[in-house]
Structure 1
Amino acid sequence: MTADPARTATIEGVWDLTIATPVGRIRAAVAFGREDDTLVGVASGAGEDVPLRDIAVDGAQVTWKQSVTKPLRLNLAFAVQIEGDTLEGTSRAGRLPASKVTGTRRTTPARVAE
């Protein structure tokens, strides 16, 4: 079965995310781009920029992992569905309950931090 191009996620660009956690809403941004045909990314929020790891696109689903140190030291795993310029899914920190993630793509171009 061939993936429908209209349903294949285009993740490249900058996304403004809202993560609904038990302690409140966290706002962050993630930027995805390509380096030598490899998808790369950086997350920015809470005064830190962290690289994204294990980025995978499967149709409209995108997954990645990242580590943060603020407000707590956590290893996060994201799984989102993209539809056009919006995304929705979850972020999970270890055994903690999943947090709902929503996001919108910025319309102004931006580079992935080097």
Structure 2
Amino acid sequence: MSELSSNAMQPLTLVLEDKPALKAHYLPFLKRGGLFVPTHRALRPNEAVQFYLQLLAAEPLLITGTLAWRTPVGAQNQKIAGVGVHFSDADAGLKNKIEALLADLPDHDKPSHTL
């Protein structure tokens, strides 16, 4: 997991208590995978982002990635404000772990926080 500059803000937090919540936040279309993290922070494209991920009641992991996109406050269709974080090379293995966890979920069209 890569480091951020000393000027970086505190890491964000994402708690996903079940597989449907994970699926709603997962970004499978990013090369190394990624997650949508709700926040009101104004981040810039390609900015380094750190967040603590607590996945299915496991110990929190500190994840580092880059901003892929931002959904601003007041976005169309009442979307939740937040950021799409593309996993870093160091955290790219998380994509396989998430996809294994989601493998047994039906692939129907439930709303998600993704694009």
Structure with a larger share of its residues in strand: 1
Common fold, TM-score beyond 0.5? Answer: no
Instruction: Please state which structure has a larger fraction of its residues in helix.
Output: 2
Structure of higher RCO (CA pairs closer than 8 Å, 6+ residues apart):
2
**TM-score, normalization: structure 2?**
0.29
Q: Give TM-score, length-normalised by structure 1.
A: 0.29
